[in-house]
Amino acid sequence: MIDAGEVARRAGLGGRTNTIMQTCFFAISGVLPREAALAKIRGAIEKSYAVKGREVVRKNFEAVDLTLSSLARVPVPEAVTSRRYRLPLVGDHAPPFVREVTARMMAGRGDELPVSAFPVDGTYPSGTARWEKRGISRVVPVWEPDVCIQCGNCSLVCPHAVIRAKFYPDKRLEGAPAPWKSAPIDARGFPEIRYSLQVYVDDCTGCALCVEVCPARDKQDSSRRAINMAAKDPVVAAERENIQFFESLPWNDRSRVDFSTVRGAQFLEPLFEFSGACAGCGETPYLKLASQLFGDRMVTANATGCSSIYGGNLPTTPWAKNAAGRGPAWSNSLFEDNAEFGLGLRLAADAHLEQARGLALELQDLIGRELVAEILGAKQRLESELRAQRARVDELKKRLTARAGPRPLALLSVADHLVRRSVWIVGGDGWAYDIGAGGLDHVLASGRDVNVLVLDTEVYSNTGGQASKATPLAAVAKFSAGGKSTGKKDLALQAISYGDVYVARVAFGANPQQTLLALREAEAYPGPSLVIAYSHCIAHGINMQHGLSQQSLAVSSGYWPLLRYNPAARASGENPFSLDSGAPRTRFREYAYNELRYRMLQQASPTHAEELMKRAEEAVTRRWATYAEMAGRGG
């Protein structure tokens, strides 16, 4: 036995245990003489990690030594004497499908399942990731109510929807468990309202992004923030009790939430939760936020890539539904046709809508002319308008259920389409910039009301780190081992050239409010929209805990200008192009050399690296000047 996580921590490797487990294998298996095997392991470390720097090599060497001293032999008795038994993977309160199918697959026994156990139409129940309590982190965030300013930043950046907030009347505290934490809500005019932040400790990956983003510090002890990482074991029992109480509190009424701000958006229920993405993932916070804003109307076409693995990889899915049974519909397509697939979802929704409108007009004498007129003439861009429309459609469905006949039944089957669908086409840069670029261009030129979200990691993250057309100049990736010698494709500028496509470039680690604004504007725009989201990635060769700092540096260096191009602004005579970030105040290399993908070349070939870096900095300057001119800043 070995506590590999503890050895990795002591060696400074974070959660990386591959060197440790490899050492264990050769130390005990006898496949090679022990000393010969260890010599080969050290040689492999030198060969594999030399380009990453001597410090990385040293830490791996130290991990080998610590492994050998940490291995412990456990004698196995001849007969079983223990009365302990393995706890079930999911509890009895889980839905039948989860207990009978999902849990068996989680246990590695999926081959035992008969074909009859699976859905006949290929659909899978939503929200099953909430039953997969992996408990992979030994440290978890702990909330300090007396320090918290209730800004919502930690909830926004959490990649796994582990941190959630609610407000509620203080009388609800009567049923709270002893360890429950709360504070008066930090808003005027609500003296009897409490605020609580809940951490789902068994779902936390320990990435610590929440601590990095927290702006609130104890005035007496500046090292103590409103949220801090602490050992899980001492708090897990209390937090499990708290989670049960937290889930008994209803989610806040959307009409009482100002989700035009990050502070308010934290009170919206996430319908993308507990995914299996990497700890500290830079992609999933965008999907989680979209699910909070549009989830009960959201239809998602997802391209092959990381988002298809953490989004729909069996046995569980993080896409969930609310108490009313509504949530995002999600389906995965291929690299080469996802944009067209998403356009098909839009065309289908439009066809259903026209069918519903026609049937409503045909049956208006039966169900009420006034109600039909209100439904067909309703605006549906603001949240308040959508809420009103949903109430009207609910009344329509109530009246239809009291009527017999094939035509009322036909309208009932498509009535929900009278509430505007929110169609999202999602994928990474490998899809959007490369393999699916032709299809994406076709969809952006279609004029249809579709929303495209590009999770830009600037590399084929899921398939091994190959260069894409989004990979920047001077960065190292597979197929660009000598540093990429061509610049990053400007997908935003290409889309802006159409003139009628909403375009935004966002980075939640640099400006979360601008990210929130762009997603809401894109969804409200009645035509094609494109949101390109900076997504820090483990493939960049960074400490993922500092991913938000890297996002901020990317923006402050001018490499990733935040922008919005809204064609609707022309109606009021405004410049549709808005440059939402300030002029560069740091050099591009100050951002780039924090990442291994740039440092590798600097170590292997300093002269060539400097040549490419100068070209990269010149490209950043040129592109910034172009955007500044478009925004009317005069260069």
Confidence category of residue 635, pLDDT binned at 50, 70, 90: very low
Give 448-475 pLDDT, tens digit per residue.
Answer: 999 999 999 999 998 888 999 999 999 9
Which one is the CATH code of 125-268: 3.40.50.150, 3.30.70.20, 1.20.1530.20, 3.90.550.10?
3.30.70.20
User: Does the domain spanning 458-630 belong to CATH 3.40.50.620?
Assistant: no
Residues 6+ apart with CB under 8 A from 329: 298, 299, 300
User: Has residue 301 got a pLDDT over 70?
Assistant: yes
Residues 6+ apart with CB under 8 A from 632: 575
Cα–Cα distance between 481 and 460 in angstroms, integer? Answer: 14
Using left for φ > 0, alpha for ψ between -120 and 50, and beta otherwise, residue 383 falls in alpha
Give 528-561 pLDDT, tens digit per residue.
Answer: 999 999 999 999 999 999 999 999 999 999 999 9
Q: H or E element: which one contains 564?
A: strand 563-565
Question: What pLDDT score was predicted for residue 634?
Answer: 58
User: Has residue 628 got a pLDDT over 80?
Assistant: yes
Residues 6+ apart with CB under 8 A from 505: 492, 531, 532, 534, 560, 561, 562, 563
Cα–Cα distance between 550 and 454 in angstroms, integer? Answer: 19
Give 234-272 pLDDT, tens digit per residue.
Answer: 999 999 999 999 999 999 988 888 889 999 999 999 999
Paired tokens of 540 = 């960049």
State the burial class of residue 382 (Cβ atoms within 10 Å of its Cβ: 0-12, 13-18, 19+): exposed
Distance of CA 595 to the CA centre of its chain: 21
Residues in the chain: 635
Q: At what angle do helices 338-362 and 437-444 cross, to 10 degrees?
A: 30
Give 573-583 pLDDT, tens digit per residue.
Answer: 999 999 999 99
State mean pLDDT over 320-324. Answer: 93
Q: Which range is least confidently modeled, 278-282, 381-385, 481-485?
A: 381-385
State mean pLDDT over 218-225. Answer: 94
What residue type is assigned to position 351 of the chain? A
